[in-house]
């Protein structure tokens, strides 16, 4: 199936990303006493995500801002200012306008990066003759293996080792949620990588995935993408979505799996 990218498709892809982050952070927020300080609030079309005790931009960001939402921007800025969290806007080409970008610039915002969104319309043909290395096996992660998940995650993303426990806990709470599926990649009996799939409204999203640094360039991520794509098809999803840093190995792996680039998001922050 060949489909060109239009505004409706682009908004579907962005909504899938918003749904995934909403599901993840809501689960963390529901931990007793909300220890990570999670809050999710909407402003017009935009969704503001904040995680006071999880530093970094992954969980502290604004998605879905559209042209016409200018009256909400100062309220969004105040929302993050009160939390002493740097504000970051993720802007897609389908939703921006000259007026919105000019307005943000006048408020002291500027672009610092691009991020790629990719997609593929799924069909049963994608399940035929998967091109997997015979040495690599992909299976679903068991509930008692989240310590291993946290270890691979932190090593794969070059995070400090002491964060592994928190990563394990913040993902384990999603295990019983049928929208989430966790995968472990093996070479023989050796765990080498992890991947995550999120599904909602017949759209599957490739969530976090990584490989141990010493095991890279062996086709592990391609195998994880293929397995999650097959799972998405069996679960009657029509579309699969992924995000990656522009021009990265992750983007290249998705393109090799015949996913197409939909657009690049513009990442905007406020100057000092």
Query: Using CA atoms, how far apart are residues 201 and 124, in angstroms rounded to an integer?
Result: 18
Contact 205, 17 (CB under 8 A): yes
Which DSSP symbol is given to 206? E
So what's the pLDDT on residue 128? 61
Residue spans of alpha helices (H) in 6-145: 7-29, 70-83, 98-106
- CA neighbor of 254 nearest in space, from 232, 224, 216: 224
DSSP 129-197: S----TTEEEEEPPGGGHHHHHHHHHHHTT--GGGHHHHHHHHHTTTT-TTEEEEEEEETTEEEEEEEE
Measured between alpha carbons, how far is residue 59 from residues 48, 85, 190, 193 in Å?
9, 11, 31, 23
Q: In terms of C-beta density within 10 A (0-12 exposed, 13-18 middle, 19 or more buried), how is residue 256 classed?
A: middle
Contact 116, 243 (CB under 8 A): yes
Contact 189, 170 (CB under 8 A): no
The token duo for 153 is 């995650």
**Residue 3: alpha-carbon gap to chain centroid:** 23
The token duo for 261 is 């680039």
The token duo for 160 is 């400090």
So what's the pLDDT on residue 4? 86
What size, in residues, is the chain?
272
Q: In terms of C-beta density within 10 A (0-12 exposed, 13-18 middle, 19 or more buried), how is residue 55 classed?
A: exposed
In this predicted model, what pLDDT tens digit does every residue of 135-158 receive, in sequence order? 899 999 999 999 999 999 999 999
70: helix, coil or strand? Answer: helix
Residues lower than pLDDT 70 in the chain: 1-2, 126-134
Residue found by looking up tokens 């599904």 in the block: 199
In this predicted model, what pLDDT tens digit does every residue of 28-81 receive, in sequence order? 999 999 999 999 999 999 999 999 988 788 899 999 999 999 999 999 999 999
Q: Which domains does the chain have, with CATH numbers?
A: 7-116+265-270 (no CATH), 123-237 (3.40.630.30)
């Amino acid at each position: 199936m060949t489909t060109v990218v239009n505004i409706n498709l682009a908004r579907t892809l962005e909504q899938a990303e918003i749904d995934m982050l909403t599901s993840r952070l809501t689960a963390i927020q529901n931990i007793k006493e909300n220890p990570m300080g999670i809050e999710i609030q909407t402003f017009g079309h935009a969704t503001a995500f904040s995680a006071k005790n999880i530093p970094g931009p992954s969980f502290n960001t604004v998605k879905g801002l559209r042209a016409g939402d200018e009256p909400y921007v100062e309220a969004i800025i105040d929302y993050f200012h009160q939390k002493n969290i740097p504000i970051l806007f993720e802007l897609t080409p389908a939703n921006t306008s000259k007026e919105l970008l000019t307005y943000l610039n006048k408020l002291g915002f500027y672009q610092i990066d691009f991020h790629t969104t990719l997609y593929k319309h799924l069909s049963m043909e994608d399940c035929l003759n998967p091109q997997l290395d015979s040495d690599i096996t992909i299976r679903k992660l068991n509930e008692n293996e989240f310590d291993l998940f946290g270890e691979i995650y932190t090593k794969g993303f070059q995070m400090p080792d002491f964060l592994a426990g928190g990563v394990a806990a913040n993902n384990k709470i999603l295990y019983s949620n049928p929208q989430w599926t966790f995968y472990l990649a093996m070479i023989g009996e050796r765990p080498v990588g992890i991947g995550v799939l999120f599904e909602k409204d017949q759209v599957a999203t490739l969530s976090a995935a990584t490989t141990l640094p010493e095991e890279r360039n062996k086709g592990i991520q391609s195998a994880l993408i293929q397995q999650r794509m097959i799972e998405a098809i069996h679960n009657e999803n029509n579309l699969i979505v992924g995000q990656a840093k522009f021009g990265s190995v992750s983007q290249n792996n998705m393109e090799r799996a015949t996913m197409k680039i939909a657009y690049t998001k513009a990442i905007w922050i406020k100057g000092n």
